[in-house]
Structure 1
């Protein structure tokens, strides 16, 4: 048996939040610690907000995610607000200084209507001058071409051992690439190949002009846009687009 709860626990094991190891985590952590009230959209298991609280953040921290199993892990901390759903499901009005979508969660906003509704809701949740920080994989890097059964994608090991000591193999396979939308599966199996769990994900890969057009339409002004986690410019070699947008 391999449940949704097992999948959420495995996610934390494979993708730990570690500001010392990962510049992406450090980037978001610094922004969170400098803001009085933070909304994490697509918070998953809540690792970013957990870490902020452990580091002494004393303001308001709130996370929202549609994945119930992930939220159950997030709710291990009760001094943070947790909501099940999407940004478009709630109606916060000028309550937060900062909104975040870390770990490429922004790419889960696939359809135009879904993307527009989410951006409007996030902007509405921000106070005047509030900021929205997020990243997307740059389509020019064609990251999906490395999502293969050999486990080479993003440098992640294909063979893992979960918290109970169970050996597992995890791999990814792309099902389709249609325009800027990529659908792929993540399969978790026993070492002999017996499949335990299959998760299907669809992501959208927006380039800079398309991304910024959606932001402007929703009432955001781009404050900064970077091609790496050290605030370098977006170039022809950039693998990521890191954006900080301000509520106009």
Structure 2
């Protein structure tokens, strides 16, 4: 009983619906995209954010880049957005966008300083002078990974009638958390295991990498209501300006 890459992309949309009217994080980014004449979504996945921008009347230039071909297959259901397969390091645009975004904690998939530097260089090149880069990363002090390994997602009704569940195995090594996402049927039959890693950077190292790539931190928040970063913050939400 196969569970394909296309199935994974569909499951992502089922479990992570983009809704600015419901989710504060989506509302935060929707406001930035609405105000920008042109937006590049780095790690755009299935393209939900840019789809919704068009639905809500955005008439400017929208583009998304992602290395996942199956996710882009779903994104390309809208042809009025530019879709490119690749990573941040592959960005070939130069000075063409007012705003770049990385949503869904995609920034944490950059696991080394070098990978961050190369990715930030690509994003900086794509922005006009003074353009902004908005993204979020989970604050390491909140230790979010400790919750991921507890229990499972509960029942998820998939489009083909199967009832699915997702659970995680976690291993921590320094500031990197290795994850194994296990997708199974409700009876426990494992359909697929996907491995990955997420890096948990603190504010100081993060801002040093941004400065080295030619960005100035314009604002940094600890929550989606634009509160300050505090010892209780679960997020580091950053708006950086291309200097």
Match among 226, 240, 243 for residue 245 of structure 1:
240
What whole-Å deviation, never above 9, does each CA across 1:76-100 have from its counterpart, x for those lacking one?
A: 0000000001121122110000000
Match of 1:82 in 2: 83
What whole-Å deviation, never above 9, does each CA across 1:184-220 have from its counterpart, x for those lacking one?
A: 1111111121110111110000000010000000010
Q: How many residues are matched?
A: 242
Quote the Cα distance in structure 1 between the aligned partners of 2:175 and 2:155: 30
Quote the Cα distance in structure 1 between the aligned partners of 2:112 and 2:23: 30
Quote the Cα distance in structure 2 between the aligned partners of 1:142 and 1:64: 29
**Can you give the 5+ residue segments of structure 1 that lack an aligned partner in the other structure?**
152-156
Q: TM-score, normalised by structure 1?
A: 0.96
Quote the Cα distance in structure 2 between the aligned partners of 1:164 and 1:216: 48
Alignment of 1:64-143 (within 5 A): 64-143=65-144
Match of 2:159 in 1: 163
Match of 2:229 in 1: 234
Q: RMSD between aligned alpha carbons? A: 0.8
Aligned-pair CA distance for 1:148: 1.5
Aligned-pair CA distance for 1:169: 1.3
- The farther-off stretch of 215-224 and 183-192 is 183-192
Q: Secondary structure at the match of 2:6?
A: helix
